[in-house]
């Protein structure tokens, strides 16, 4: 792509309409579950709606975390700065799906019983790993505003938000452990490959910056 064409594309990606389109795309999975659940369209939510929602919200949490992690390498490799404006939108939607995943687990699986939840976290390691990932994601969502960034200071804010490099592997481990228990570990191969690539690129960049 020529430099003028790249500049035009970058300008288009910087427009508010592009960010709004990303917001709508992030909304689509949730909207699909609402429509299917309320109308029965496309088979509704299946024979086990609780499992459909748990799997769907968990998968989209991880997918959006990976997309958020991919934006910085994309900028460096392509020279496009526009997509960096989407990081907050993608990150907050990742948290929204994580919150829905946690609520689906607590309500549909555990009947909002704190004692049952505590027992389950102690009995099933994959549930405990997922809970830990959610708790680490919470402060990132709470400090996603410009005011929080100013209050923390840029350097401390950046250090805090590097937790995503721990949260994403924990989310993948949670998903892998759950799939393995049902003999479906191979299903998470695409996410595992993407995460390995993104972490590898991050490691190379950090290593080069120290030399």
The pLDDT value given to residue 3: 81
The pLDDT value given to residue 9: 92
The pLDDT value given to residue 132: 97
Low-confidence ranges of the chain (pLDDT < 50): none
CB 191 within 8 A of CB 175: yes
Measure CA 149 to chain center.
Answer: 20
Q: Is 74 exposed, middle or buried (0-12, 13-18, 19+ CB in 10 A)?
A: middle
**Rounded CA separation 166/36 (Å):** 34
Asked whether the whole model's pTM tops 0.85, one would answer: yes
The pLDDT value given to residue 211: 61
CA dihedral of 163, 165, 167, 173, whole degrees rounded to 10: -150
């Amino acid at each position: 792509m020529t430099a003028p064409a790249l500049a035009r594309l970058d300008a288009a990606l910087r427009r508010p309409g592009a960010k709004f389109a990303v917001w709508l795309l992030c909304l689509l999975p949730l909207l699909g579950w609402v429509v299917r659940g309320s109308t029965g369209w496309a088979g509704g939510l299946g024979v086990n709606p609780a499992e459909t929602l748990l799997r769907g919200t968990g998968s989209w949490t991880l997918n959006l975390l990976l997309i958020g992690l991919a934006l910085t390498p994309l900028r460096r490799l392509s020279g496009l700065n526009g997509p960096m404006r989407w990081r907050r939108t993608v990150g907050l939607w990742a948290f929204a799906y994580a919150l829905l995943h946690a609520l689906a687990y607590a309500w549909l699986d555990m009947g909002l019983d704190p004692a049952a939840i505590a027992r389950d976290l102690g009995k099933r390691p994959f549930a405990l790993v997922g809970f830990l990932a959610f708790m680490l994601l919470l402060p990132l969502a709470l400090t996603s505003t410009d005011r929080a960034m100013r209050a923390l200071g840029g350097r401390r804010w950046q250090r805090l938000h590097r937790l995503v490099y721990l949260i994403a592997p924990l989310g993948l481990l949670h998903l892998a452990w759950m799939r393995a228990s049902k003999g479906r570990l191979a299903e998470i191969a695409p996410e595992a490959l993407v995460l390995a690539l993104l972490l590898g690129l991050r490691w190379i960049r950090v290593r080069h910056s120290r030399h």
